[in-house]
Amino acid sequence: MKTLIKAIDTVNNFFGNLGAWICFLMVLVVVYEVVSRYIFNAPTLWSMEINQYLFCAMLMLGAGYCLMQDGHVRVDLFYPRMSPKTQAIVEMCTYPLAIIFCAILVWLGGEEFWAAVVEHRKSDSVMAFHVWPVWLVVPLGGFLLGMQILARYLRNLLVLINKD
């Protein structure tokens, strides 16, 4: 069980680091656009759309990493005062809803991805970029988040049966 948890953490750590590099790339695109627009008076047609694609990738691919780092928003009124076992029970009760959410992302995102590939869909912008890369990261991000939820579930199970 610990091997599976470690493998899931390793995969999400990779995609979390990839998300950090995507964020850095977004910064470079914005800097390029600002310099191009305000110094050379030559704005680009592509920078806004590329940043939207990159932002989607960063968000979806980083969701599992964020959960691994315990970075998702939680109302911490009572949770911090609970014992580790009670925290584990509370988390395990919320995971089925989160798994349903991930399944919807994988299913519907996968359908949209496939339709975008088959129908050769392009954006409505001047650049007419293909939209399949955006739709690809939706089911992938849902899958990565679902796997991290599974890892958290297994970790909490270990807490409940007193195995570190």
Structure confidence at residue 127 (pLDDT): 86
pLDDT digits (tens, 9 = 90+) for 31-61: 999 999 999 999 998 999 999 999 999 999 9
Q: Is 57 left (phi over 0), alpha (psi -120 to 50) or beta?
A: alpha
What pTM was estimated for this model as a whole?
Answer: 0.89
> Does residue 1 have a pLDDT over 90?
no
> Does residue 76 have a pLDDT over 90?
no
Total residues found in the chain within this entry: 164
CA distance 105 to 122: 21
CA distance 12 to 66: 9
> Does residue 7 have a pLDDT over 60?
yes
Residues 6+ apart with CB under 8 A from 47: 29, 30, 32, 33
Closest to 58 in 3D by CA, of 133, 163, 110, 158: 133
> Does residue 164 have a pLDDT over 80?
no
Closest to 148 in 3D by CA, of 31, 7, 2: 7
Closest to 52 in 3D by CA, of 32, 30, 20: 30
**Identity at 18, one-letter amino acid code:** L
CA distance 49 to 45: 8
> Does residue 81 have a pLDDT over 60?
yes
Mean pLDDT, the chain, rounded, equals: 93
DSSP bridge partners of 122: 130
Q: Is 130 helix (H, G, I), strand (E, B) or coil?
A: strand
> Does residue 163 have a pLDDT over 70?
no
Structure confidence at residue 27 (pLDDT): 97
CA distance 69 to 63: 10
pLDDT digits (tens, 9 = 90+) for 88-111: 898 899 899 999 999 999 999 999
Token pair for residue 118? 């088959």
- Give the CA distances from residue 66 to residues 15, 17, 141, in Å, rounded to whole numbers and listed in that order: 10, 11, 11
> Does residue 116 have a pLDDT over 90?
yes
